[in-house]
Amino acid sequence: MVKIFGDMKNERALAILLFAWSLFSYSYFFHFHDRWPNPNETTRLYSSISMAEAGEFFIDKQIARYGVIWDRAEYKGRLYSDKAPGLSLMAVIPLAALNKVSSLFGYETSFALKHWIARFFCVILPSALFSSLLFIYLRRFLTDPFHRAGLIFIYTTGTLACTFSTLFFGHQTAAVLLFTAFVMLEEGTKRPWLRAGIGGFLLGLAAITEYPTIIAGFAIFVFCFIVRKQRAPMVLTVAAGLIPVFAWLAYNKACFDSPFSLGYSHLDNPSFAAIHKSGLLGVGFPNLTAFAGSIFDAKRGLLFFSPVCIFGFIGFFHLWKAGWRQVAIITGIVCLVFLWIASSFGYWIGGDVVGPRHLTPLIPFLMIPMAAFLESAGRTQAKTGMVFFTAAAAISIGMTATSSIPFPFFFTPLINPFRDMALALWSDGIFPYNPGR
């Protein structure tokens, strides 16, 4: 049976099954709360709607139409989204198509439908496709297709990917873009020019979707340039990467009269402005409080909600021992970059969310050493290690799914939001919109 499922045809079937599961699980629940709109999502969506329907960058009309939000920038009497514009720009095409169809049939689409369309095409669908890509890529590190499929199930259901694949935040889309770019550039021996161009474009798009990915993306580019035998195609990586960057510069110029003036430089909220003025866009030197809070704390800690991630860090030893040393180095660098950012950000708690959202792009990179751990455990029949891994995976799926399904916007003041909010919502039977409701 294992031999049968080991060929490419059946691995492709498993990849399709994982895509179908991810698409179903991410789209089944629709988190739309018109009385408590999340400002991070809403400001991005306002920007997308303004561009798609009116060809405008400011969001004044959307605020007047749908309600006030405070994640915003103010410049010359106009209001704009304060976020990196990548995700908003991506949503323009599906929202413009929706607006065109609604105009043809003479009806006005609801804000809820616009929200769902933007989420589906820019976050949910890419994340579901990515689950298949990750399954295929990890074949080198974890040969057993069943174990690999199980690992992808854990990734999609028991990590930050589960939470942020269902929301119109930029973190999961940036994670998909960054890791896919890494795959294109790291495996650059076949069709090197095509892969170099795709990888560069995705790196640029990730950079304008979530600014912290700029550092990790640069590290990936430099490392791949050093280790690759064919370096000439990397020229195309730079050229392709500049396409979204130039779009970002044009956006900044249109909004703030300068290509290098960001929304964060014109924040309308004084408290947010104070946070982002410290360091570089709020990122400075690491501190123990932010590190411990991002990794261990019951409020937002990565290992509190997803303890299986500890096996990703343990897996670096197995990845190195198995001979994948170049991959271990660049993966370790990327992980350190995001740990540094999360540990030095002035507002490490990240607002009303589940888990440390700024660590979301780190998670797919942790799957590589985690796959190496499972490969080593399976080869050496390390039963104790597998028992602990299975237990951690089950806890992660339970904690993450329980937290993400009813209301993935944990209130900031809560000390233990899993206990005080998530379990309370489940106990009261409070769930978001879904086909069964």
Residue-wise pLDDT for 410-434, tens only, equals 998 999 999 999 999 999 998 998 8
Which has the higher per-residue pLDDT, 334 or 273? 334
The pLDDT tens digits for 125-165 are 999 999 999 999 999 999 999 999 999 999 999 999 999 99
3-state secondary structure 288-304: HHHHHHHHCCCCCCHHH
pLDDT category, 10, cuts 50, 70, 90?
Answer: confident
Mean pLDDT of 74-82: 95
Residue 350 pLDDT exceeds 90: no
pLDDT category, 276, cuts 50, 70, 90?
Answer: low
pLDDT at 317: 96
pLDDT at 106: 86
**Alpha-carbon span 270 to 256, nearest angstrom:** 18
Residue 1 pLDDT exceeds 60: no
**Alpha-carbon span 239 to 223, nearest angstrom:** 18
Residue that has been written with the tokens 């709109």 in this structure: 37
Beta bridge partners of 433: 30
Residue 174 pLDDT exceeds 70: yes
> Are 146 and 4 spatial neighbours (Cβ–Cβ below 8 Å)?
no
Residues in the chain: 437
Instruction: Please spell the DSSP secondary structure of 286-348, one letter per residue.
Output: --HHHHHHHHT-TTT-HHHH-GGGHHHHHHHHHHHHTT-HHHHHHHHHHHHHHHHHHHHBTTT
Q: Give percent of the chain with pLDDT exceeding 70.
A: 95
Report pTM. Answer: 0.94
**Range of weakest confidence among 28-37, 47-56, 57-66, 307-316:** 28-37
Which has the higher per-residue pLDDT, 326 or 232? 326
Residue 81 pLDDT exceeds 60: yes
**Alpha-carbon span 437 to 137, nearest angstrom:** 37
Distance of CA 358 to CAs 10, 72, 164, 175, 187, Å?
Answer: 36, 19, 11, 10, 27
pLDDT at 394: 97
pLDDT category, 24, cuts 50, 70, 90?
Answer: very high
**Alpha-carbon span 426 to 432, nearest angstrom:** 11
pLDDT at 228: 75
**Alpha-carbon span 201 to 241, nearest angstrom:** 4
Determine what percent of the chain falls in helix, strand and coil, rounding each to the nearest 5. Answer: 70, 5, 30
pLDDT category, 6, cuts 50, 70, 90?
Answer: very low
**Alpha-carbon span 70 to 352, nearest angstrom:** 14
**Alpha-carbon span 160 to 15, nearest angstrom:** 21
